[in-house]
Amino acid sequence: MALGLSVIFGMLRIVNFAHGAMFMLGAFVAYYGLALFHLPFFAALIVAPLVVGLFGALIEVLCLRRLYGLDPLYGLLFTFALVLIIEDAMRIAAGALGSPYSAPDILNGVTNLGFTVFPTYRLFVIGAAILVCIMVWFVLERTPIGARIRAATESPVLVRALGIDTQRLVSITFAVGVGLAALGGVLAAPNQNVEPTMGDKVIINTFAIVVIGGLGSIGGSIVTGFALGLLQTLGAVIFPAFNDTLIFLVMIVVLLVRPSGLFGTPVSAK
């Protein structure tokens, strides 16, 4: 499980608290979709990211846009306020206890891989995560819009001078990122309760992953995400009580040995 989520999140790079809330919202859209409109799971995989992505775009245009050009810390703080608002709104709407959401029948049960049996749903999540990664990588590296996004993150002023609307690019990127977070939420929903605080743990793990992987390469985040997902799965078997702390211990070791992260470029610039 951690595998898929870490990968999707690690890739987003623009990490903020709101992604945890969007992750939770994605799961809730899937849950309500099923409860109210009999929306099947596979449809939810498409609908939830769209709905939440639009919501994210709205927030970006209305609020976050005002905070660019200031210390990025203000963006982080604003998203923290958002988390408080969204989490509590969902708590009032849905109750704090959470609701179960089950995967479609084809994905339940186990698959025999020859050397071991594995829950089918997990295989599906891993597959979906890999697929999303490849898609994102493809869009970023091999399409004109991906080239523009990369250029805009590197030097916004120059890109603007070339006549490209960077503001809109940022909005689109944000919406897609948020949509991916929602997708992660839908994927996670069948494995855990759908509850207002479900995004919290994910977002903090993601922070650790970003710190460990270091900024710079998408590949770095993916490798880190997978490695840590694997480590957590193993850790759950070896010493379950402190499994949650493993990722932070790894983070500490990495910071001591390579302060700029495993795949980060070792420069002192921000």
Partner 1 sequence: MTTALLGSRRGVIVAVLLAAAGVLLPWIVYPVLAIDIVAFALFAVAFDLLLGFTGLLSFGHAMFWGGAGYVSTILLAKAHAPFPVAVLAALVYATLLALIVGAIAIRRQGIYFAMITLALAQLQYFFAYQLEQFTGGENGVQVSSRGNLFGIGLDNDKGFYYAVLIVTALGVWLVVRVVRSPFGAVLNAMRENEQRAIALGFRVDRYKLIAFVISGTLAGLAGVLFAVGNRLSGLDGVDWHTSGTVVMMSILGGIGTVFGPIVGAAIFESLDHFLPTVHLSFFGLVIEVGDKTNIVMGAIFALCVLLFRRGIVGELLAARAKRAKP
Please name which of 102, 115, 100, 176 lies closest in space to residue 145, comparing C-alpha atoms: 176
Q: Which two tokens stand for residue 83?
A: 């988390």
Q: Could you please report the per-residue DSSP string of 144-163?
A: HHHHHHHHHHH-HHHHHHTT
Please name which of 17, 54, 41, 44 lies closest in space to residue 197, comparing C-alpha atoms: 17
What is the nearest approach in angstroms of partner 1 to the Cβ of residue 155?
A: 19
Q: Could you please report the per-residue DSSP string of 172-222?
A: HHHHHHHHHHHHHHHHHGGGS-B-TTHHHHHHHHHHHHHHHH-SS-HHHHH
What is the nearest approach in angstroms of partner 1 to the Cβ of residue 221?
A: 14
Q: Which is nearer to partner 1, 72 or 109 (CB)?
A: 72
Q: Which is nearer to partner 1, 20 or 190 (CB)?
A: 20
What is the nearest approach in angstroms of partner 1 to the Cβ of residue 70?
A: 8
- Taking CB under 8 A as the criterion, the residue among 92, 93, 147, 230 binding partner 1 is 92
Q: State how far the Cα of 98 lies from the Cα of 28, in Å rounded to an integer.
A: 10
Which residues, numbered 17-76, are part of the site for partner 1 (CB under 8 A)? 63, 66-67, 70-74, 76
Around Cβ 89, how many Cβ atoms within 10 Å?
13
Say if CB 18 and CB 82 are below 8 A apart: yes
User: How many chain residues touch partner 1 (CB under 8 A)?
Assistant: 42
What is the nearest approach in angstroms of partner 1 to the Cβ of residue 81?
A: 4
Q: Which is nearer to partner 1, 67 or 123 (CB)?
A: 67
Q: Which is nearer to partner 1, 120 or 192 (CB)?
A: 192
| Strand ranges in the chain using DSSP code E only, listed in sequence order | 110-112, 117-119
Q: Which is nearer to partner 1, 72 or 219 (CB)?
A: 72
Which residues, numbered 200-219, are part of the site for partner 1 (CB under 8 A)? 200, 204, 207-208, 210-211
**Which stretches of the chain bind partner 1, using CB under 8 A?**
15, 63, 66-67, 70-74, 76-78, 80-85, 87-89, 91-92, 200, 204, 207-208, 210-211, 241-242, 244-245, 248-249, 251-252, 255-256, 259-260, 270
